[in-house]
Amino acid sequence: MCIDLHTHSLYSDGSHTPQELVEFGLRNRLQGLALTDHDTVEGVAELLQYGREVGLAVISGVEISTTLRRHTVHILGYGFDPAWPELDTWLHPLQKGRAKRNESIVTKLQDLDIDISMQDVEAISSEGQTGRPHFAQLLVERGVVANFSAAFEQYLARGKAAWAPRFTYPVSEVIAMIHRMGGVAILAHPGTLDPDIRIVTTLIEELIHHGLDGLEVYYPSHSKQFRRQLMELAKRHQLLVTGGSDFHGATRPSHPLVSHTNGFCPSAALLQPLLNAIASRQADQY
């Protein structure tokens, strides 16, 4: 029995609606599904409503980008009420920061004689938040780069020719906000923090100090050995363990939705401890 607690919809840089994600989840016989769009919860109500209608265990989620020194850190928040009064106001600077950053990327690409306009980016992004993956898609379509990862390596990754910074909250504030809303805070794909496990360990210990609740141990690019090392850390610090595919749709073929047949199956046994932690977080609020 598998779960998938890390997916994106077209409200950020995924290519499917939340309803379609639920349908895929049913088809793949998942025991639990969360939507974790970047810096937005626009799709969460649809996921929750449709999931409940069809009897799939669905969990509210969000993936917030932040930085810790030179490291890009993605924090997953789970189990909060998407209608929490403070939430939209809190997300607004992140969304405005994305819009400003996207304009800088367009300017930088134009300075490099790559003719991509803001209208092109908006057209490809349809709904919600726009991110670098949309630029990567355009660069591939225009034949500027050979593939999606080359778009990052040559232009969009931190420090490359078309990279531009954007507003982020400090990681302590991200975790505190998730807690204020009654959610739990999980470190997404720890394997992308740094290739060196010692550095990852130090960063995780720093994040625990800021209130981190758990680790996304099960992630497609994590090796068995890395998962084992993360499990040891989780045990030592009594952290929750989660897993997910980071499904975005057809643009990311290396990250298909979890299924029983493709060899990547975060266990449904992870679900109950997560739900318990969410319930006790919410009980603490009153």
H or E stretch at 209: helix 197-209
The answer to whether 267 and 1 are in contact (CB under 8 A) is yes
**Closest by Cα among 95, 259, 115, 82 to 166:** 95
42 vs 246 by CB, closer to Fe ion: 246
- Give 140 or 157: the residue with its C-beta nearer to ligand AMP: 157
Instruction: Tell me how crowded residue 198 is: count the other CB atoms within 10 A of its CB.
Output: 8
| Contacted entry of Fe ion, ligand AMP, Zn ion, none for residue 22, CB cut-off 5 to 8 Å set by kind | none
CA 115: distance to chain centroid?
29
Write out 142-200 in H/E/C secondary structure: CCCCCCHHHHHHHHHCCCCCCCCCCCCCEHHHHHHHHHHCCCEEEECCHHHCCCCHHHH
Closest Cα partner for 281 from 173, 185, 170?
Answer: 185
What residues from 186 to 205 belong to the interface with Fe ion (CB under 5 A)? Answer: 188
**Residue whose CB is nearest to Fe ion in the complex, by number:** 74
Sole binder of Fe ion in the list 74, 132, 227, 252 (CB under 5 A)? 74
Query: Based on C-alpha coordinates, what's the Rg of the chain?
Result: 18
Among 132, 179, 227, 281, binds ligand AMP (CB under 6 A): 132
Residues numbered 62 to 81 that lie near ligand AMP (CB under 6 A) are 65
Site mask for ligand AMP (CB under 6 A), range 8-47, x = bound: ------------------------------x---------
Q: How far is the CB of 238 from Fe ion (least distance, A)?
A: 24
- Rounded least distance, CB 267 to ligand AMP, Å: 24
- The binder of ligand AMP chosen from 152, 218, 247, 264 (CB under 6 A): 152
Contact with ligand AMP (CB under 6 A): which of 18, 133, 243, 249?
133
Given a contact cutoff of 8 angstroms between Cβ atoms, the answer to whether 161 and 147 are in contact is: no
Under the rule (CB under 5 A), what is the footprint of Fe ion? 63, 74, 188, 246
